[in-house]
Amino acid sequence: MGKLIFKDQIYTFGQIQAGEWQENDPYIVQSLTFCKDWLNGKQEFDMQTSGSTGLPKKLTLYRSQMEISAAATKAFFKIEKGVSLLVCINTEMIGGKMMLVRGLCWHADIHLCLLESNPFNQISPKLNIGFCAMVPLQVEACLAEDFSSKILSKIGVLIIGGAPASDSLMQKIKSNGINAFQTYGMTETVSHIALAKIDGQELRYQTLPNVTIGTDEEKRLWIEAPMAKEKRLQTNDLVEIVGDGIFRWIGRADFTINSGGIKIQAELLEAEISKYVASVFGNIAYFLFGQEDEKLGQKMVLFLETSASQKHQAQKLLGILKDKMKKYHSPKEVFLIEEFVKTTSGKINRTKTAQLCF
């Protein structure tokens, strides 16, 4: 039987099942309450999608789906008994919920943290972490500090989700010898259904056991997975299938920019320009978007999450991109926004952010 540790307080699964805790922090209480419900056999859980490409919607997930997902991840990584899990992502969303479920199903020790960009500020550097999930922002913050980068490199398995890791971040992960994987999944598939090893090469996603994939006539991925409700889940992700259960992710079809008849995959290009953005602005959020244009149909523009006072630097960046990138891969204009519109899970809502300027 495992246990849950928060700060210096240790709760056995039996204590959690009985509701025996003394925590007052609302975030910790909701995490413990979910664990209590699970341990008492609750069968249905209401979840909300992130809303990154449309309106957020509520879904009911079944216990059996979550159990299948946890078992598939355990089989994929060959997780052994007695592993310690660090839960440092939002447990109100599917990624964090599934970290709790994995710990409960694997009878593991769950080390729970408050939400912070560098969760290692809250735990002992001597802790032996076997499995952890983070978002790219957290990985960046951990690598920026010497003490936490050393802890990160000792984690047995690190999965990264919520958003794609940039090319520069993936190079840092490789150079620090971190055993990390980019995830592919969504609320509808109960967290990830495929993982790609971050090793400095182009990402190739391998599906979890018993997951079948294919593409429609527009090269959009469909998924048949035992952890999903739908027999076949059609996504809006453009992929290239390169082997049995192995695919290369290209980008979302609804983020494709059609400029003068040339189709540009915004997310792939964003990864390519990350080093140039970082060279001028450091670690800031940004994205490419298609603005309606009478001549081109759409023209590609760049959004930067920074102060309007940085206009000179923005023009400098445009000049660099024009010099370094192909003609049709260079943004025609740049927009500076103090703070992007975010979804409930913290992802950038591109459409609503763009509407602030158009």
Domains annotated on the chain, with CATH: 3-208 (3.40.50.12780), 260-355 (3.30.300.30)
C-alpha dihedral sign at 30, 35, 36, 40: positive
Q: What is d(CA 354, CA 51) in angstroms, rounded to the nearest whole number?
A: 16
- Per-residue model confidence (pLDDT) at position 252: 87
Q: Which two tokens stand for residue 105?
A: 């199903």
Q: Is 121 helix (H, G, I), strand (E, B) or coil?
A: helix
pTM of the shown model:
0.84
pLDDT, average across residues 38-51: 86
- Per-residue model confidence (pLDDT) at position 52: 47
DSSP 234-290: EEEEEEEEEETTEEEEEEEGGGEEEETTEEEEHHHHHHHHHHHHHHHH-S--EEEEE
Please give the single-letter amino acid code of residue 111: H
Query: Which of 1-15, 278-292, 344-358 has the least mean pLDDT?
Result: 344-358
Question: Residue 288: left (phi > 0), alpha (psi -120 to 50), or beta?
Answer: beta
- Per-residue model confidence (pLDDT) at position 56: 63
pLDDT at 25 > cutoff 90:
yes
Report the C-alpha dihedral over residues 38, 42, 43, 44, rounded to 10 degrees: -90
Continuous segment of H or E residues that includes residue 300: strand 297-305
Q: What angle do CA 329, 295, 273 make, to 5 degrees?
A: 15
Residues in the chain: 358
Q: What is d(CA 148, CA 283) in angstroms, rounded to the nearest whole number?
A: 18
Q: What is d(CA 30, CA 92) in angstroms, rounded to the nearest whole number?
A: 8
Q: What angle do CA 290, 294, 298 make, to 5 degrees?
A: 15
pLDDT, average across residues 131-152: 94
For β-strands 3-6 and 109-112, DSSP reports them as: parallel
Residues 293-331: tens digit of each pLDDT:
888 889 999 999 999 999 999 999 999 999 999 888 999
Select the more confidently predicted residue: 82 or 36: 36
- The torsion angles phi and psi of 23, rounded to 5 degrees, stand at -80, 145
- Per-residue model confidence (pLDDT) at position 55: 54
Residues 49-64: tens digit of each pLDDT:
765 444 567 889 999 9
pLDDT, average across residues 262-268: 90
Residues 204-257: tens digit of each pLDDT:
999 999 999 999 998 999 999 999 999 999 999 999 999 999 999 998 888 999
- Per-residue model confidence (pLDDT) at position 82: 86
- Per-residue model confidence (pLDDT) at position 53: 44
Continuous segment of H or E residues that includes residue 182: strand 180-186
- Going by C-beta distance under 8 Å and a sequence separation of 6 or more, which residues neighbour residue 8? none
pLDDT, average across residues 12-26: 95
- Per-residue model confidence (pLDDT) at position 228: 94
- Going by C-beta distance under 8 Å and a sequence separation of 6 or more, which residues neighbour residue 334? 301, 302, 303, 304, 314, 315, 317, 318
Residues 85-138: tens digit of each pLDDT:
999 999 999 999 999 999 999 999 999 999 999 999 999 888 999 999 999 889
Closest CA to 5 of 122, 149, 140, 171: 122
- Per-residue model confidence (pLDDT) at position 57: 73
Quote the mean pLDDT of the chain: 93
Please give the single-letter amino acid code of residue 60: T
